[in-house]
Structure 1
Amino acid sequence: MASQHRRIKRTLAATAAVAALAILTACSSAGTGSAANDSKYGFTTAKQDSKSAITVWVDAAREPLAKAFVAANPDTPIKIQTYDGNAGGSDSFKTKMALFDQSGSGWPDVVFSTQTNDTSWAAKSANGTQAFAAPLNKGLFPASFLNGFTAGAESPMTVNGTVYGLRNDLAPVVLWYNKKLLDQFGYTAPTTWQEYEALSDKLAADHPGYILGSVGDAFTGTYVYYWGAQAPIFQLKGNTFSSDFTDKHTTAMTDLIDHMLANKTLVQDSLFSADFVKKYASKLVAIPGPAWYAGALFQNAQSLNNPAGEIGAANPLYWDGDAKVTGNVGGGVWYASSHSANYAAVKKFLTFVISSPDAAKLASGLPAYSSTADTWLTAQTSSGYFTGDFKGAISTAASSVWKGWGFPSFSPETAYAKVVVPGLAAGKTIADLSPAWQAEMKNEAQVQGYTVK
């Protein structure tokens, strides 16, 4: 756990506050009022009012945590609104904020997003309005708090030394396995991608109908398999986007997925669909997937709902003879609005959802804050639900995420959902679909203003 718990080194700016971009009308939670340059936060703020209710946007999974804050802080004025959480790269967060930018009002005070790449646009001013995301390390949060995040957790939300978001959870990919089925069939959990593919042939021959995963969700095909394979199909350097489908890591993963789709140990059903639960709840032998499968998939009464002692987490799969790295599936982010009129309440709320006992208790996956992660890991281990070295596998994965994946202002999930999912359903292979998949990602990059290599 030593590598997981290294504290991020943060250097607070000692220079004067950034120049004001414009005099802004107050946000919806502030009502009307004049803006003022509050240099202690490092950016232009609306006139502050500690009695002003803050509006918080959350997805359904984070709603219980927001409600826990209300219960624990009845005197803090707050309005909770649910939305899709920008899931699947829907761009709903960005689209709605653009509308508020145009009208000059309406911004929520806090927003949760499932997409770690939202910082790429939320930290930039647009249409003459200052950036939506408020700088967090210029005075709003002390270094002592920000240094509490697991090493590297805040990197995607840090631009030129300024932190624009707080990571809710880490989502490194491990290999989940069903010990009961492995023991029953006389198999051992694979440790490499090559062993994973070899196991698929054995499983297909000896126990047809049993599976080793699904590529029916956009996040699985992109983040679990291609990111985990070190496939450089989604990279960003400066303002240049590139996507390489000829790299050996890419072609090897494409071949692996096509092979396992052909022998039917990989399926095309969405993991969280009723059909998947009905058909495969008792037939899932192993599956590579993020840490949050712990609560969202295996311990979820509406999903697989496996009994205690069946499911274990093993170290991430890697290519034999190559770097032992893994992919990452999301890891939500909390953003504070630069337009809020009540930063006292915003700070109180964000501190609660990141580091309170409820943040650990209600987490479905590995929290990004070190002390919260410790509490969650200890609780999961001591519960007796998971078999094997659960804590060791999650910790190994958290420090092994491949750093070659990019974080532009759009998600790779949209191109996968548009091209690959229907293409596979029509009987095509990933190899067949790769040119169109690559072209769609490049088109999205160009639309977003990136130079395409």
Structure 2
Amino acid sequence: MAMHRGRGRRGRLVAPALALALVGLTGCGGDDSAAGGGAKAAACEPSKEPVKLEYWSWVPGMEKAVAAWNAKNPRIQVKVKTTPAGNAGTYQNLSNALKAKKAPDLAQVEYDSLASFRLKEGLRDIARCDGVAAAKSTFVDWTWSQATFGADGKDGVWAVPQDTGPMALFYRKDVFDKLGLAAPTTWAEYEAAARKIKADAPGRYVTHFSQTDPNWFTGLLWQNGAGMFDRQGDTWKVTVDRPESRKVATYWQRLIDDKLVATDLQGFSPALYKAWSDGEVVTWIGAAWGYSTIRDNAAATAGKWAVAPMPQWDKGDKAAGNWGGSTTVVTAGAEHPYEASRFALWLNSDPEALEILNREGGLYPAAKAGLKLPALQQPVDFYGKQKIFDVFAEASGNVDTDFTWGPTMTDTYRFLSDGTSAAISGNGTLGDALRTADAKSVESLRKQSLDVTD
């Protein structure tokens, strides 16, 4: 899957803040650059000769989608290279390839890493490549906002959205039913359920709180409108520690202190899968792509799980967080951005491609048409024949489009992870983790010679 828990999830970059404004000089724009970018329109014209493109991706089964494209487009042939997921190797290899001017034409990059690669001047602005700007309405609104660094797209188009991770609540319906509990609609109800679950079986937990998934915790912050960064022009403001974030941290710290959540289980681990199978952990606030994680790793619990919307901070609200998801970028050194952008659009919006990527790679598409794939309309046997993707489709439409990633997210995630680990071991709190991550993120941005305001 394209995120998948950031799976796999950067040396000092001496780049002036102005780079964020000038990086578009390598893009496919019109000849209207006041900064002297040259005749950019020519850079996005179709090639008169057959074109061969290279694409790096870690999505399982991607080669089948590429084969479908190649069969229909003999003049634009794509070779896919299977790479490690994100920070497990792809990003470092891509950074090195960009420096050596040996980068592929296209690459898979997660939403939270786009700003970093833009800062490295590794992405092309494909806003004026044929069909790209018009594709805005093709994709779920918030994903286009992430790929353009703004809802209106005036900042350029730096990627084509691929998949998403709208979040919902996976829960053991059999356990909840036995205790007379309905699916919690608010976080207060979720906590009350946690206490009842613990009282009934002291060795059972409502969920686990992982030390190694700061991007999961970010999804919880996202739901509460707690953006971690703001940007005005070339100036950044770090907002990791803000009232909305503290509210989330205080809530989960209480559950940790009262031993209502398991703190010795890491995400995507055999121990967690066993806890699911044994009924030791009975909920997971997870993403759409996570439906197969439970299905494939706790097979004995088939028919016992259900999916409900994320609990809300205020009754009646419908906010959702997002955990994961990727884009397809055209790299700065690509010689054929027109053809590359055509492939990127097809890959992420064509019904045939979407069906292949969902079937083979488990992707939950960012394209609106993808949400209507037959496979996403059917009841899912493992979840008691519930049409679980109806829940995720609704969640996808309730993700805040204004959430902004910073240009040094790997550093911020590391700071947050270190603080979370300390809090879980009793050396501080999640509130401390936010404050420390905030301060260190400011320092990290300043080390990159970026403008940062208090």
Report TM bin, short chain.
0.7 to 0.9
Are 1:55 and 2:54 an aligned pair?
Answer: yes
Helix, strand or coil at the partner of 2:107: strand
Answer whether contact 1:416 1:437 (CA < 8 A) is retained.
yes
Who is 1:286 aligned against?
Answer: 283
List per-residue Cα deviations over 1:56-77 (Å, max 9, x = no partner).
Answer: 2112xx0412344236636664
Percent identity between matched residues is 16
Amino acid at match of 1:421: S
Amino acid at match of 1:202: K
Helix, strand or coil at the partner of 1:152: helix
Q: Distance in 2 between matches of 1:384 and 1:40?
A: 52
Report 1:26-37 matches (<5 A): none
List per-residue Cα deviations over 1:396-449 (Å, max 9, x = no partner).
Answer: 211222345322212242222233225423554324544333323332233342
Who is 2:179 aligned against?
Answer: 185
The alpha-carbon distance between structure 1 residues 152 and 432, as it changes in their structure 2 partners (threshold 3 A), is closer
Q: Distance in 1 between matches of 2:378 and 2:148?
A: 32
Are 1:106 and 2:106 an aligned pair?
Answer: no
* Alpha-carbon offset, residue 118 of structure 1: 3.0
Are 1:137 and 2:127 an aligned pair?
Answer: yes
Who is 1:4 aligned against?
Answer: none
List per-residue Cα deviations over 1:128-181 (Å, max 9, x = no partner).
Answer: xxx432233312435554432123321111152521101111222212222222
Q: Distance in 1 between matches of 2:216 and 2:200?
A: 26
- Of residues 200, 219, 225, the one that matches 2:220 is 225
The alpha-carbon distance between structure 1 residues 373 and 66, as it changes in their structure 2 partners (threshold 3 A), is farther
Who is 1:353 aligned against?
Answer: 347
Who is 1:408 aligned against?
Answer: 406
The alpha-carbon distance between structure 1 residues 450 and 92, as it changes in their structure 2 partners (threshold 3 A), is farther
List per-residue Cα deviations over 1:338-364 (Å, max 9, x = no partner).
Answer: 322345653454244312231332352
Are 1:167 and 2:165 an aligned pair?
Answer: no
Amino acid at match of 2:172: N
Report 1:341-420 matches (<5 A): 341-343=335-337, 346-347=340-341, 349-354=343-348, 355=350, 356=353, 357-375=355-373, 378-379=375-376, 381-387=378-384, 388=386, 390-403=388-401, 405-411=403-409, 412-420=412-420
Q: Distance in 2 between matches of 1:321 and 1:91?
A: 42
Answer whether contact 2:44 2:338 (CA < 8 A) is retained.
no
Report 1:164-313 matches (<5 A): 164-216=158-210, 217-219=212-214, 222-231=217-226, 234-238=228-232, 239-243=235-239, 245=241, 247=243, 249-268=244-263, 269-283=265-279, 284-295=281-292, 297-299=293-295, 301=296, 303-305=297-299, 308-313=302-307
* Alpha-carbon offset, residue 202 of structure 1: 1.2
Answer whether contact 2:213 2:267 (CA < 8 A) is retained.
no
The alpha-carbon distance between structure 1 residues 139 and 342, as it changes in their structure 2 partners (threshold 3 A), is closer
Who is 2:13 aligned against?
Answer: none
The alpha-carbon distance between structure 1 residues 230 and 447, as it changes in their structure 2 partners (threshold 3 A), is same
List per-residue Cα deviations over 1:353-407 (Å, max 9, x = no partner).
Answer: 312231332352421011122106x535344443445243212211222345322
Who is 2:142 aligned against?
Answer: 152
* Alpha-carbon offset, residue 450 of structure 1: 4.0
TM-score (norm 1): 0.78
Q: Distance in 1 between matches of 2:311 and 2:125?
A: 37
Helix, strand or coil at the partner of 1:414: helix
Helix, strand or coil at the partner of 1:252: helix
TM-score (norm 2): 0.78
Q: Distance in 1 between matches of 2:67 and 2:36?
A: 34
The alpha-carbon distance between structure 1 residues 385 and 72, as it changes in their structure 2 partners (threshold 3 A), is farther
Helix, strand or coil at the partner of 1:312: strand
Q: Specify which structure has the bigger relative contact order, considering alpha-carbon pairs within 8 angstroms and separated by 6 or more residues.
A: 2
* Alpha-carbon offset, residue 272 of structure 1: 0.4
Q: Distance in 2 between matches of 1:322 and 1:437?
A: 32
The alpha-carbon distance between structure 1 residues 148 and 261, as it changes in their structure 2 partners (threshold 3 A), is same
Answer whether contact 1:209 1:264 (CA < 8 A) is retained.
no
The alpha-carbon distance between structure 1 residues 257 and 191, as it changes in their structure 2 partners (threshold 3 A), is same
Helix, strand or coil at the partner of 2:441: helix
* Alpha-carbon offset, residue 255 of structure 1: 2.3
Helix, strand or coil at the partner of 1:81: strand
* Alpha-carbon offset, residue 101 of structure 1: 4.4
List runs of 5+ in structure 2 lacking aligned partners.
1-27
Count of residues in correspondence between the two structures: 407
The alpha-carbon distance between structure 1 residues 181 and 358, as it changes in their structure 2 partners (threshold 3 A), is same
Q: Distance in 1 between matches of 2:407 and 2:90?
A: 13
What root-mean-square deviation, in Å, do the aligned CA atoms of Structure 1 and Structure 2 show?
3.3
* Alpha-carbon offset, residue 221 of structure 1: 5.0
| Larger proportion of helix | 2
Who is 1:82 aligned against?
Answer: 82
Who is 1:320 aligned against?
Answer: 314
